[in-house]
Amino acid sequence: MLDKWSGGTAQRYARFVALANRSERHFRRFRSQRDYREVVENVTTDDGRILYESIVSTPFAALALESEYADTVGRPKTIEIAGRRISPTTIRYASTLADIVAEFPQFQSFKRVCEIGIGYGGLARLVCLHHRLTGGQIESYRLLDLPEVLTLTRRYLEHHHLDPAIEYRTKSEIGLKNTDTYDFVISNWAFSEFDRSLQTEYLDKVISRAEAGYMIMNTGLDGRHKGLGGQTCLSDAEIMGKLPSARILDRENAKPKGYVIAFG
């Protein structure tokens, strides 16, 4: 989400997302542009190969490999894996999904999903495909981000045939007192980089209204209470105190400097 940082990185990213929304030429290559890759499409070649090896014997490796067409949209930098050209970021999303399913064997039964901080919708696409292939049925997949990001994500996801109703929402559109409930909530780094007031708002309005959740974090643990922009963040204990059955996980898809909070 654009409001997770202050300073030059966020400003360059915001400007580029706006440009890609109004320019077909920039949209065609948005995933390979430096100002976008700094924030979203930033998994290295080496990390992509390591993550692929961690899922190579699972069905999630096939999901990654079947993403070759998806990884022509926006023309990201790709690596050759098993004869296919795949974005390392797509491989990380597949690794994240593999870990979610391992941690939550009932994941297939979750029908109402919410994702906070959505990139371009790459993880959402894989979750929807996973449910389709395993006989699950998502009734709604809510994507929460800023308007510019939602517009870009809608353009990306319209290139793919997804079964569930994708809902595009800003924070303000869910209201001051969100009464919606979710089976599962996901945050892929974004929540951990909000300041503590915004984290508290999301905990109260969204995350605590989910039966279960999975959040990749890079702040809050071991005294790391400062985000990339210098903002003060909640500690892991403060976050986990608001969530049922919360636990800290050490996972390959969160490395090199992250960890996972799972709950429910």
pTM score over 0.85: yes
Write the pLDDT tens digit of every residue in 23-44.
999 999 999 999 999 999 999 9
Tell me: the pLDDT tens digits for 86-107? 999 999 999 999 999 999 999 9
- Quote the CA–CA distance of 94 and 241 in Å, as a whole number: 29
In this prediction, residues 119-139 reach a mean pLDDT of 94
How many CA atoms, within 13 angstroms, populate the side-chain half-sphere of residue 180? 21
DSSP 223: T
Q: Is the pLDDT of residue 66 over 70?
A: yes
Q: For position 171, what pLDDT does the model report?
A: 87
| Domain total of the chain | 1
Type of residue at 157 = L
The two three-digit tokens of residue 142, written as one number: 């809510």
**Of 175 and 9, the one with more pLDDT:** 9
Cβ-based neighbour number of residue 87 at 10 Å: 26
Instruction: Give the domain range for residue 62.
Output: 2-263
Pairing verdict, β 165-169 and 182-188: unpaired
Beta-ladder partners of 184: 113, 212
Q: What is the CATH number of the domain that holds 248?
A: 3.40.50.150
Positive/negative CA dihedral, 174, 175, 176, 178: negative
